[in-house]
Amino acid sequence: MDMQAVSAWLDSVASFVWGPALLVLLLGVGLYLTLALRFMPMRRIGTAFRLLFRKSDPNDPGEITPFQTLMTALAATIGTGNIAGVATAIALGGPGAVFWMWMTALVGMATKYAEAVLAIKYREVDAEGRYVGGPMYYIKNGLGKNWAWLGFLFALFAALAGFGIGNMTQSNSVTAIVTSTFPAVPNWAVGAVLAALTFAVIIGGVKRIGAVAQYLVPFMAIAYIFGGLAILAANYQDIPEGIAFIVRSAFTETAATGGFAGAAVWAGIRFGVARGVFSNEAGLGSAAIAHAAARATDAVQQGMIAMLGVFIDTLVVCSITALVIVTVHVPVEVDGMVQSLPAWASGVNGADLTALAFANGLPGIGQWVVSAGLVLFTFTTILGWSYYGERAAEYLCGVKVILPYRLLWVAFVFVGSVLQLSLVWTITDILNALMAIPNLIALLLLSGVVFSMTRASATASKGKIEPATSQ
C-alpha cells in the first residue's frame, strides 16, 4: 500500500469518525448539560472571572492555583486552532463554519464545566504525592470497575493523541514560521532550540508549567487580541454585515467567489464543529486533566473557572480571527483582473489566510502579529499537552513512566520540526474523535452527579449559583 492510498484511507476514516454521529453527540451532550444546568455557564461568566482572580488558599489540596490551572489549560488550547484552524474551517466550510464554532463553544462551556467538576470530585493522589485526575479517573472512580476499559481507552487515545495535536504538529508549525521568516535558519536548529526550551519547562512538572503559563498565556493572548481589535476598529462599519453574513452562511450554501470554491451547509457544520472542538477541546476531556491539579476544595467553583477556557479560546480569540478574515478586503486576481474581495474569498487556506488578512488589515505589522502569535501559541500548546499526555501515560503504566515520557516528548518536538507531517494532521483528527467518545459517554452517565453537586453548591451559597434540574 503506497502513501497515497494510506492518506486516502485515513481521510475516509477521519470523515467517518467526524460524521453526523459524533457531531450530534458533541453538540447533544453540550446542549443537554446546558439546558439541565438552566444556562448557568452562560449566565455566570462574571462570577467565574471573579473566582479566577480570587486569591487561593495555599493549604487547599492540589498542585497549582486555580489561575495557573486555567492558564495551563489555555496554554494547551490556544494554539494553531485559533489562527490556522479558524482559517481552515472558513476556507473549507465557508464563513458559516464560524457560526457552528460559536454554537459548539456556547454549549461547550457546560461540557467543560462538567468535566472539571468531575475531575475534582474523582481525582486521586498518586504514588509521588501528586494530585491526578481527568476522564480516566472519573470513569474508573465514578462508573466503577465494569467501566474501567473505557477509562483505559481514553488514556490510551490521549497519550497517543498528544504526540500529534500537542507536539509534532505544533513544532512543525513553529519551524515553518521561523524558516519562512529567516530562510538561512535550518529546520534542525529551530527544532533543537524548541526542544531545549520544552525540556527546561516540562522537566519541572505541572508546577513549572503553571508558573510559565500564568505569565506567557495572558501576554500572548492580549497581544493577539489587541492586534485583531485594532484591525476591526478600522473596519468597524463592516462588522455588522460580517456577523450577519456568517449567520446567513450557516444555513445556506456559500457560492463560489474569487478563489473560494464554494461550500455546502453540511461542510460548514462539519468543519465548524470539528475545528471548534480542536480549538477549545470541550468534549475531549483533556482540560479536565489540568483542572484536577488545581488547589481547590469546591469542585463547582473550579468547574466555573474551567468553562472560561472555552469562552476565552473560541468566543474571544477565534471570533477575532474570524471577523478579521471576513471583514478585511485583499487584492485577488479573478479572470486576469485584480479585484478587492474579502480575505475568505481569496482561495488561500490555513495560517496563510489569517496572515493575509492581518497583513492587509494592519499593514507593516499585521503579519508579524500572526507569526509571533503562532510561535507563542504553539509553544505553550506543547507545554500544556505534555502534561496531558504524561498523566494519561501514568494512568496506563504508573509513575515510573513519567521521566521517560518527558524525554520522549522532547525528542518528538525535534522530530516534528524536521519531518514532513502530511498524515499527522489527519491522524490527530481521528485520535481527537476517539478521545471524545469515552469522555462524552462518561459525562452522560455521570451527569446526575454534576447536577446534584451544582444544587448542593447553590444551597450552600444561598442561591448564588442556580440549581440544576432534577435528574
* Residue 392 pLDDT: 95
Distances (CA, A) of 214 to 219, 399, 442: 9, 26, 30
Read off φ and ψ for residue 13, nearest 5 degrees: -65, -45
Q: What is the pLDDT of residue 414?
A: 92
| Separation between Cα atoms, residue 217 and residue 421, nearest integer Å | 26
Which pLDDT value is given to residue 33?
96
Residue pLDDT, tens place only, 381-431: 899 899 999 999 999 999 999 999 999 999 999 988 887 766 777 787 788
Bridge partners, residue 406, by sequence: none
pTM for the structure as a whole: 0.89
Cβ proximity of 382 and 95 under 8 Å? no
Cα-to-chain-centroid distance, residue 255: 29
Helix (H, G, I), strand (E, B) or coil at 61: coil
Residue 143's CB is within 10 A of a number of other CB atoms, namely 17
Predicted confidence at residue 422, as pLDDT, reads 66
All structural domains of the chain:
3-330+338-460 (1.20.1740)
Q: How far apart are CA 4 and CA 18, in angstroms?
A: 21
pLDDT at 338: 78
Query: What is the per-residue pLDDT for 112?
Result: 95
The closest alpha carbon to 174, from 6, 11, 373, belongs to 373
Specify burial of residue 299 (Cβ count, 10 A radius: 0-12, 13-18, 19+). buried
Reading the chain (471 residues) residue by residue, the pLDDT tens digits are: 577 788 888 888 887 887 788 888 888 999 999 999 999 999 999 999 999 888 878 888 888 899 999 998 888 888 777 888 888 888 888 899 999 999 999 999 999 999 999 999 999 999 888 999 999 999 999 998 899 999 999 999 999 888 887 888 888 888 887 887 788 889 899 999 999 999 999 999 888 998 898 888 888 888 899 999 999 999 899 999 999 999 999 998 887 777 787 788 888 887 888 788 777 888 889 999 999 999 988 999 999 999 999 999 999 999 999 999 999 988 887 777 778 888 888 888 878 888 889 999 989 888 888 888 888 888 888 998 999 999 999 999 999 999 999 999 999 999 888 877 667 777 877 888 888 999 999 999 999 999 999 988 877 766 454 444 433
Cell of 172: 512543525
What does 309-369 look like in DSSP terms, one character per residue?
Answer: HHIIIIIIIIHHHHHHHHH-EEEEEETTEEEEEEGGGS---HHHHHHHHHHHHSTTTHHHH
pLDDT tens, residue by residue, 82-99: 888 888 888 888 899 999
Helix (H) or strand (E) holding 131: strand 131-132
DSSP lists the bridge partners of residue 415 as none
- In this prediction, residue 467 carries a pLDDT of 42
